[in-house]
């Protein structure tokens, strides 16, 4: 969460926000080192989008024990603070499901009211500070809402999310310095009727192409789009990222802050601080942070049978139906893929895995796996070597693991390896 605040909805009071993770979603390694509300959904994370809708900040969270310290550390070190008056902070809060994607369900919420979906899932409530939402009433009129239950629920909504975000974040830093304009002749060619928003500090071209015929294109602060790159809307390249020469960024793609994107990428979200700088295909996937994808790596996002993709997000979690014909991969934080890595349809790669083998890995790669052609059998990344590598990569961006994140990594490693 970075505290983006835009103009609040006219039908919604600007109350401090409490987010509740009800534990009903399954996101595999993507929520190993972050709460579900910190997953990127479009121009912002789920939490940032809720903040922008309400016009206030998150001041309290209820999350699983594994990421509780990380969540509290973020709340304490971020700019989050009460944006309402002290009286409001004491008297009333807006409680929201941390997986909420369709924010119109918050409109018109009255004092003391709690809203639920048709299946009884809690959506939102406006209650006294610290109070629990009122119970769902049998036979009451419930609300239609989209909630993230798995990674593909977020990625397949990118077109809708980005359209909403142009309004949600219109006064926020992510768009505040953007100009709506076509590419200049020295930058290349652009076409289409949807907005093309380019930050004044971004660099584009020459000989680039932007296709906004089916959705908006957003190019954020400090972004560099190298020559011959093609961007197809709806898509967003966020602050500090670079798009390599001859890249094809296809529709429904969000490249998060401080990433390197190259080759062919479509229908995919990059959380932040990850690298895919070279040729290779990545489609219909969700990539965590501090990932490095080697040159020539490819993934499949469609079965040869054209059937529904069924995945395994956790070793002990059974198979999960995606309901999608197209689904590629979930790639957890700190994953490293060597050159020429090939991922089969519906692959899940656990946090901290290192893959350097000529054959395709299994469609579920356990956390901290160390896979090479020369290995006699499955091995695990040693925690000291893993942290050394993580620190080296993060230091290149002026970052380092926080105490809470390092503690979570050590606990995750111990659980994954039995150490």
Quick one: CA dihedral 263, 201, 269, 370, positive or negative?
positive
In a domain, 338, yes or no: yes
* pLDDT value at residue 85: 45
In a domain, 207, yes or no: no
Select from 200, 171, 173, 169 the least CA-distant residue to 184. Answer: 200
Domain assignment of residue 114, given as a range: 17-149
* pLDDT value at residue 135: 84
Following CA atoms 47, 48, 51, 53 in sequence, which dihedral angle do they give, to the nearest 10 degrees? -110
In a domain, 396, yes or no: yes
C-alpha span between 229 and 255 (Å, rounded): 14
Last residue of a domain, one of 89, 114, 149: 149
SS3 338: coil
In a domain, 203, yes or no: no
How many Cβ atoms are within 10 Å of 395's Cβ, its own excluded? 10
- Segments in the chain below pLDDT 70: 1-11, 78-90, 139, 375
Q: Are 406 and 386 in contact (CB under 8 A)?
A: no
Q: At what angle do helices 403-417 and 68-77 cross, to 10 degrees?
A: 170
Q: Are 265 and 276 in contact (CB under 8 A)?
A: yes
Sheet holding 354-356, edge to edge: 203-204, 224-225, 242-243, 260-261, 275-276, 292-293, 336-337, 354-356, 369-372, 379-380
Structure tokens at 330: 């979930």
Q: How many CA atoms lie within 13 A of 170 on its CB side?
A: 11
* E strands, 213-305, in order: 217-219, 224-225, 230-232, 235-237, 242-243, 248-249, 253-255, 260-261, 264-266, 269-272, 275-276, 281-283, 286-289, 292-293, 298-299
In a domain, 179, yes or no: no
**Regarding beta strands 298-299 and 342-343, do their DSSP bridges make them parallel or antiparallel, or are they unpaired?**
parallel
In a domain, 188, yes or no: no
**How many structural domains compose the chain?**
2
Last residue of a domain, one of 149, 170, 199: 149
Which residue is associated with the tokens 């040693």?
382
In a domain, 156, yes or no: no
Structure tokens at 146: 């989209």
In a domain, 183, yes or no: no
Last residue of a domain, one of 149, 177, 204: 149
C-alpha span between 189 and 207 (Å, rounded): 7
What digits encode the pLDDT tens for the residues 358-380?
999 999 999 999 999 986 777 99
How many Cβ atoms are within 10 Å of 184's Cβ, its own excluded? 13
* pLDDT value at residue 137: 76
C-alpha span between 125 and 103 (Å, rounded): 13
């Amino acid at each position: 969460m970075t505290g983006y605040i835009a103009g609040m909805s006219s039908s919604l009071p600007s109350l401090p926000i409490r987010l509740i993770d009800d534990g009903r979603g399954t996101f595999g390694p993507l929520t190993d080192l972050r709460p579900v509300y910190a997953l990127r959904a479009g121009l912002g994370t789920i939490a940032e989008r809720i903040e922008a809708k309400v016009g206030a900040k998150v001041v309290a969270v209820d999350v699983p024990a594994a990421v509780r310290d990380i969540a509290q550390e973020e709340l304490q070190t971020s700019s989050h603070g009460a944006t309402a008056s002290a009286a409001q902070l004491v008297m009333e809060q807006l409680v929201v499901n941390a997986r909420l994607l369709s924010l119109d369900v918050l409109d018109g919420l009255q004092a003391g009211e709690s809203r639920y979906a048709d299946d009884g899932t809690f959506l939102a409530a406006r209650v006294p500070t610290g109070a629990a939402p009122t119970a769902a009433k049998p036979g009451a009129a419930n609300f239609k809402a989209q909630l993230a239950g798995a990674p593909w629920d977020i990625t397949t909504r990118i077109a809708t999310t980005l359209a909403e975000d142009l309004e949600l974040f219109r006064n926020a830093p992510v768009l505040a310095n953007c100009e709506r304009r076509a590419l200049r002749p020295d930058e290349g060619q652009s076409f289409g009727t949807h907005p093309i928003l380019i930050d004044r500090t971004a660099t584009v071209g020459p000989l680039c192409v932007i296709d906004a015929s089916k959705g908006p294109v957003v190019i954020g602060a400090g972004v560099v789009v190298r020559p011959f790159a093609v961007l197809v809307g709806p898509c967003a390249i966020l602050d500090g990222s670079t798009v390599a020469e001859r890249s094809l960024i296809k529709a429904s793609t969000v490249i998060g802050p401080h990433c390197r994107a190259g080759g062919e990428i479509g229908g995919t979200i990059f959380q932040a601080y990850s690298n895919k700088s070279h040729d290779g295909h990545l489609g219909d996937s969700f990539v965590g942070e501090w990932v490095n994808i080697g040159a020539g790596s490819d993934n499949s996002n469609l079965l040869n049978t054209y059937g529904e993709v069924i995945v395994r997000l956790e070793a002990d979690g059974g198979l999960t139906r995606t309901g999608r014909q197209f689904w590629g991969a979930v790639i957890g934080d700190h994953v490293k893929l060597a050159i020429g890595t090939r991922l089969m349809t519906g692959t899940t790669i656990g946090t901290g895995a290192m893959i350097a083998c000529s054959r395709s890995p299994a469609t579920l790669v356990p956390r901290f796996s160390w896979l090479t052609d020369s290995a006699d059998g499955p091995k695990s990344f040693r925690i000291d070597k893993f942290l050394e590598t993580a620190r080296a990569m993060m230091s290149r961006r002026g970052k380092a693991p926080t105490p809470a994140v390092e503690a979570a990594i050590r606990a995750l490693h111990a659980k994954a390896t039995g150490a």
